[in-house]
Amino acid sequence: RLKRFLHEQGRARAPLLSPSHCTDRTRGQVQRTASWMPMSKWALRFSSRAVAFLSVLAAVALSESAPTCSSNLAGCVAGSHSVPAGLPDDSSAALGLLQRGLSAQRAAPASALATELAQAASPIQGQLTLEHFRKGSQRGCYDRATRNQWAVVDAHLHIRPFGGLPVPFDELTQWLHRAGILFYNACGIGQRLPVDSNCTYYLDCPGTPITPSIKNDMFNAQAVLDEKALMSTVLGPVVTLSMSFPDLDHPEKIVPQMKLLDKEFPGMFGWMGELNVVKQALFSNSQGYPVPLDIMNHWAPFMQELREKDIAVGFHSDLGNDAEPLKYLPLMDKILELYPDNKIVWLHLGGLSLQLNPLPPVLLAAPLYADEHADIIRERLRRHPNLMIDLAWDVLYKELYTDPMKRQLYVQLLDEFPTRFIPGTDFVAAVTKPEEEYRLELNQTSDIFKDVSDAAFRNIALGENYFRLRSLDYSAPPVC
């Protein structure tokens, strides 16, 4: 597989080990692979361990090869300065290091280079830190066999409840440190219970109306400012503030409020959501009703503002319910049709809710079965390249991941689209909840990552998809 990779890279770009630049021994190896099949994406999907081994192997081989190869390192290895399309991101990281190391080979002994590359391929020891995720930092690889495989990103964390007191921000930060969360979205909740209500959760107070509000977003921003020093260590976490205030039924108010937040907290908000397109769980609190299709046309100003600022938006859009499983699917389809250039995140694994529980696949299916649901997501991911799917909510674990038949369907989906999912818990940090509850929800929402491929694990659990979506200057370490 390694020799095939060397040869196919030579066909895709300038030769990685060109016969004209290397010894007879190396030239013979390349010539023997010359009749192998042309480049294909599946041939590039080898493990990070193989890539790391390739890096060390190449460094050692250079110390044994003829001087002509050492004097033509850029031609032998670099070819062009970009990694070809189809190469997994974890491979790109290892190859990037290899290219930088080889370009410095003339000034450094091969044994020193091999040592550096070997260190990069060694499993990370101790707690993960932001230093392991800095671009250009090669401080080891992530060993799935020795770690809990929890996500290091919580892209869906509500740091204040609907009403009542939140977990103190400094205390919550310490929870995240202990849980290994290095990056998270600080989501507000765009609706508030009445100020005279003693509820913290809307489901505990059916009949009590909740109303849209910008208060939570401002509280969150001030909390981040107040505890900035606490998050300045290598444990972070790196916080992205999310705008949760928008009332999608009244889009004319959204841009002015976005500008207000940016005036009061310049440049601090880099996400929008969770925005309710339809949320059946709120119906008994006079909220969450489906946004009329004709109103979606009037979203254009705030969606344009998001595009210009490179901000993703997360929509809570229920798929349906057990009686009518696809009742609300046209709403998300309309959004994707109207705003194809926006970074859109469909929350809760494509609109799942307490009102809709996909059943195990059977020969005769009604109302909606897990394989059908997976196909709905699959079809929309293929049609809409800017669509991402959020994996937040512990109900996914309870209803899908604990069922072996359902679980396998979603593992296959994540492996098929490893660059299109982001992790999250959907935890609501009310002061009445203990740290153990957050850790339980993180464990449950991360459980499916134990079964996915290395490529999917690195992109999703280790945050590469999130970094790309947020345009952050971080990169996930390779998987051992």
Q: What is the pLDDT of residue 82?
A: 34
pLDDT digits (tens, 9 = 90+) for 327-378: 999 999 999 999 999 999 999 999 997 655 665 553 334 457 889 999 999 9
Q: Which two tokens stand for residue 469?
A: 């979506």
Band of pLDDT at residue 23, cut at 50, 70 and 90 = very low
Query: What are 384-439's pLDDT values in tens digits?
Result: 999 999 999 999 999 899 999 999 999 999 999 999 999 999 999 999 999 999 99
Beta-sheet strand order (sheet of 312-317): 421-422, 387-390, 344-346, 312-317, 269-278, 238-243, 183-187, 153-158, 427-428
- Paired sense of beta strands 269-278 and 312-317, if any: parallel
Q: What is the dihedral of CA 358, 363, 364, 366, to 10 degrees?
A: 0
Return the half-sphere exposure (C-beta side, CA atoms, 13 A cut-off) of residue 373: 30
pLDDT tens profile 65-95: 333 333 333 333 333 333 333 344 444 444 4
| Nearest-angstrom CA–CA distance, 276 and 318 | 9
| C-alpha distances in Å from residue 143, one per residue of 121, 124, 479 | 10, 7, 6
Using DSSP's 3-state secondary structure scheme, residue 180 falls into coil
3-state secondary structure of 132: helix
Residues 6+ apart with CB under 8 A from 337: none
Contacts for 70 with CB less than 8 Å, ≥ 6 apart = 62, 105, 106
Q: Tell me if the pTM is above 0.95.
A: no
Token pair 């192997």 is found at: 57
Residue 282: per-residue pLDDT: 76
Encoded amino acid at 451, one letter: D
Q: Averaged over 278-292, what is the pLDDT?
A: 81
